């Protein structure tokens, strides 16, 4: 199994997320500190109790980085009783999945895309897109934190590329995806890798998906036609 290292992505994008540069403070000549006491309005206007608090919050909000991506919470584990033996109780850890119905829905919608359908039909031997790799695509959709309407065809192929990068030991499946999308042209591949970096960054660098989670994803809609893409049923 290939091990995903964070350092391998540093070549694609050198800018760090969440960094903001504040403009330099401008001080007018008449505002420079001096020996004279500050002027005080003898007839100040009445100020509501929440006005100062609102002004402080507004100043804090202006310094926020508007491009900061939402943090994706880590899935938490729960414990359930598996069996009872007299006074002894055996507990079994159960993982709480963060995959929502909307993530399944956007995946099903993308399966209707003609380019994606042609790609799945092209991969007859399921070297790149068997049911477990496709399950990882849904898991990645849940971790990326995008709205369901934001997912496009390119996100499907980026997620599938990452799944092959994690689960396959050779470069052939990843090269097959790029060859299908761009042929022999190399002009669009740098943009693909830049988007790939941004996508895995939005997932919090969590690219590993367990077999148990893949099976849970498939069990949500067991009659979906892509879950029949079982590589073990293909004769060698």
Query: Is CATH 3.30.70 the right assignment for the domain spanning 101-231?
Result: no
pLDDT band at 39 (very low <50, low <70, confident <90, very high): very low
Handedness of CA 128, 130, 136, 137 (dihedral sign): positive
According to DSSP, residue 18 is labeled T
The C-alpha atoms of residue 2 and residue 165 are separated, in whole angstroms, by 7
pLDDT band at 141 (very low <50, low <70, confident <90, very high): very high
The C-alpha atoms of residue 93 and residue 54 are separated, in whole angstroms, by 46
Q: For residue range 181-219, list pLDDT tens digits in order.
A: 999 888 999 999 999 999 999 999 999 999 999 999 999
The C-alpha atoms of residue 209 and residue 136 are separated, in whole angstroms, by 7
Average pLDDT estimate for 39-58:
44
Whether 229 shows a pLDDT value over 90: the answer reads yes
List all residues 6 or more positions away from 230 whose beta carbon is below 8 Å from its beta carbon.
126, 130, 131
* b/e sequence 128-139, b meaning 16+ C-beta within 10 Å: bbbbbbbbbbbb
Give whichever of 13-27, 37-51, 104-118 has the largest mean pLDDT.
Answer: 104-118
The packing angle between helices 153-167 and 114-122, to 10°, is 30
Average pLDDT estimate for 8-37:
43
The C-alpha atoms of residue 207 and residue 159 are separated, in whole angstroms, by 10
Whether 234 shows a pLDDT value over 80: the answer reads yes
Query: Could you tell me the residue ranges of all domains in the chain?
Result: 101-231
pLDDT of residue 201: 94
Whether 102 shows a pLDDT value over 50: the answer reads yes
pLDDT band at 36 (very low <50, low <70, confident <90, very high): very low
Give the residue, 145 or 157, on which the prediction is more confident: 157
Give the residue, 49 or 132, on which the prediction is more confident: 132
The C-alpha atoms of residue 174 and residue 139 are separated, in whole angstroms, by 19
Share the mean pLDDT of the chain. Answer: 74
pLDDT of residue 67: 41
**218-223: which pairs have CB atoms within 8 A and are 24 or more residues apart?**
218/131, 218/135, 220/99, 220/101, 220/104, 221/104, 221/108
Q: Which of 125, 116, 135, 224 is nearest to 173 (CA)?
A: 125
pLDDT of residue 61: 38
pLDDT of residue 209: 94
Return the structure tokens found at 149.
């309407």
The C-alpha atoms of residue 85 and residue 77 are separated, in whole angstroms, by 24
Give the residue, 41 or 53, on which the prediction is more confident: 41
pLDDT of residue 87: 62
Model pTM score: 0.61
List all residues 6 or more positions away from 34 whose beta carbon is below 8 Å from its beta carbon.
none
The C-alpha atoms of residue 1 and residue 87 are separated, in whole angstroms, by 43
Give the residue, 11 or 117, on which the prediction is more confident: 117
The C-alpha atoms of residue 117 and residue 111 are separated, in whole angstroms, by 6
pLDDT band at 99 (very low <50, low <70, confident <90, very high): confident
The C-alpha atoms of residue 86 and residue 103 are separated, in whole angstroms, by 43
């Amino acid at each position: 199994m290939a091990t995903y290292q964070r350092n391998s992505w540093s070549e694609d994008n050198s800018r760090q997320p969440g960094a903001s540069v504040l403009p330099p403070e401008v001080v007018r000549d008449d505002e420079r500190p001096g020996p004279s006491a500050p002027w005080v309005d003898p007839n100040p206007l009445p100020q509501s109790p929440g006005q100062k608090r609102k002004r402080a919050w507004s100043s804090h909000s202006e310094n926020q980085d508007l491009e900061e991506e939402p943090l994706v919470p880590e899935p938490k584990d729960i414990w359930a009783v598996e069996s009872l033996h007299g006074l002894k109780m055996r507990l079994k850890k159960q993982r709480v999945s963060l995959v929502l119905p909307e993530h399944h829905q956007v995946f099903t919608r993308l399966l209707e895309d003609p380019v994606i359908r042609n790609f799945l039909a092209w991969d007859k031997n399921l070297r790149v897109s068997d049911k477990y790799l496709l399950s990882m695509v849904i898991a990645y959709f849940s971790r990326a934190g995008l709205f369901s309407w934001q997912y496009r065809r390119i996100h499907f192929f980026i997620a599938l590329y990452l799944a092959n990068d994690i689960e396959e030991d050779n470069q052939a499946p990843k090269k097959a995806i790029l060859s299908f999308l761009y042929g022999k042209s190399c002009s669009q591949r740098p943009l693909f890798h830049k988007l790939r970096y941004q996508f895995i960054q939005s997932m919090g660098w969590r690219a590993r998906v367990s077999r148990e989670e893949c099976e849970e994803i498939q069990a949500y809609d067991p009659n979906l036609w892509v879950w029949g893409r079982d590589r073990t049923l293909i004769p060698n």
